[in-house]
Amino acid sequence: MLYRQEAAKTAHGVVAIRQKAGINATPFATSGSLVRRQIPRAQRPDWHAPWKLMRVISGHLGWVRSIAIEPGNKWFVTGAGDRTIKIWDLASGTLKLTLTGHISTVRGLAVSPRHPYLFSCGEDKMVKCWDLEQNKVIRHYHGHLSGVYSLSLHPTLDILATAGRDATARIWDMRTKQCIHVLSGHGSTVADVKCQEADPQILTGSMDSTIRLWDLAAGKTMATLTHHKKSVRALAIHPTEFTFASGSADNIKQWKCPEGTFIQNFENHRAIINTLAVNVDNVLFSGADNGSMAFWDWKSAYKFQSLETTVQPGSLESEAGIFASAFDRTGLRLITCEADKTIKIWKEDPNATPETHPIDWKPTLIRTRY
């Protein structure tokens, strides 16, 4: 009897504390349980203006496969199947310079924020460092056994990461050309590599359908994410949050660093996702192999716009495809690199308002977990 009275007192005390804290006791499994049941609730999306095509830039003679934007936001650079690298004025879209030296498709580009250097990689196994004051190659980084498909610069260290068809990512000392680490463990082509300031400083996405998070100092895997069922071709790191997205043919997933905790799915872009980009306004862009495009609210995973790219006259029907994309430094312009050999610049519609383009949002109570 005494035991029952003590138990009742304790339970009453817990309820009082929870009510004071503003927590309601919700039944979990049994009606007498005091554990609050966590019901996942869909987050209301922020309103974003729809995007529209502003400019088409022609000049490449092959599929445009890669892009990088200069940190000063004055120009951008593209690489293509015609083996050339072209530098374009961002404001006018005019060609400033063409660099030749690769003997196959240029698949990755990066512009250094601290040095006058441009880095490029391609299907010819080459990784090159260009001095933009002399417009010539000053360094080669040798080691990849097959085509190099992606390249990323570390934001604070003089370190370069490359990845490719030999199923490895390699970490290079930018100045000495020394290979610091060979990051092996993927079972197939590493399609994308990204560097960030805090651990895990290296992220890789592979055709083996996994994503790996790497410890840069040790050169070891910190985590392997196996949620995707198809090849992971694209990664995008949020510019201000410690989160990133991965794109595959099954869907797009959002993750939290440092552990690689799954957050949510971006669903219903049913295509092979080749490229992802995210800006400071929490807009995620996804571009696919069939030319379809989608714009999403980063926080809620709500798709607020779907588009098909406009294939330019003179291109074959099959040449609708988006291979690479990037937002400029302001996040107000999106640049896409496409299979019709053009580069397209997209901007938000300045006339759109929440009244003209309302959010068509129907929240679902239970979200797909993985």
Q: What is the DSSP letter of 13?
A: H
Residue whose pair of structure tokens reads 């790219």 in the numeric block: 309
- Position 365 scores a pLDDT of 52
Residue 258 preceded by cis peptide, ω within 30: yes
Query: Above 70 in pLDDT, residue 35?
Result: no
Q: Count CB neighbours of 50 within 10 A.
A: 13
Residue whose pair of structure tokens reads 């299979």 in the numeric block: 339
Q: What is the mean pLDDT of residues 137-144?
A: 98
Name the 3-class secondary structure at 16: helix
- Position 363 scores a pLDDT of 72
- Phi first, then psi: give them for residue 317, nearest 5 degrees: -55, -40
Q: Provide the residue type at 178 as one letter.
A: Q
284-336: per-residue pLDDT in tens? 999 999 999 999 999 999 999 999 999 988 766 568 999 999 999 999 999 99
Paired tokens of 183: 């990051």
Query: Above 80 in pLDDT, residue 20?
Result: no
Q: What is the mean pLDDT of residues 24-36?
A: 44
56-82: per-residue pLDDT in tens? 999 999 999 999 999 999 999 999 999
Query: Above 50 in pLDDT, residue 19?
Result: no
- Position 21 scores a pLDDT of 43
Name the 3-class secondary structure at 257: coil
Query: Above 90 in pLDDT, residue 179?
Result: yes
Under CATH, to which class is 57-348 assigned? mainly beta
Neighbouring residues of 192: CB distance < 8 A, sequence distance ≥ 6: 149, 150, 163, 204, 205, 232, 233, 234, 235
Query: Above 60 in pLDDT, residue 271?
Result: yes
Which residue would you say has higher pLDDT here, 364 or 50? 50
Which pLDDT band holds residue 49 (cuts at 50, 70, 90)? very high
Query: Above 70 in pLDDT, residue 3?
Result: no
Q: Are 71 and 113 in contact (CB under 8 A)?
A: yes
Which pLDDT band holds residue 43 (cuts at 50, 70, 90)? confident
What residues does 53 pair with on adjacent strands?
346
Average pLDDT, the chain: 90
- Position 367 scores a pLDDT of 52
Domains of the chain, by residue range, sit at: 57-348
Q: What is the mean pLDDT of residues 213-239?
A: 97
Paired tokens of 17: 């504390």
What residues does 37 pair with on adjacent strands?
none
Query: Above 50 in pLDDT, residue 91?
Result: yes
Residue 200 preceded by cis peptide, ω within 30: yes
Q: Are 204 and 196 in contact (CB under 8 A)?
A: no
Q: Are 52 and 346 in contact (CB under 8 A)?
A: yes
183-216: per-residue pLDDT in tens? 999 999 999 999 999 999 999 999 999 999 999 9
In the chain, % of residues over pLDDT 90? 82
Which pLDDT band holds residue 29 (cuts at 50, 70, 90)? very low
d(CA 93, CA 39): 49
Query: Above 60 in pLDDT, residue 18?
Result: no
DSSP-derived secondary structure for 104-151: S-EEEEEE-SSSSEEEEEETTS-EEEEETTTTEEEEE----SS-EEEE
Instruction: Please give the model's pTM, rounded to 2 decimal places.
Output: 0.87
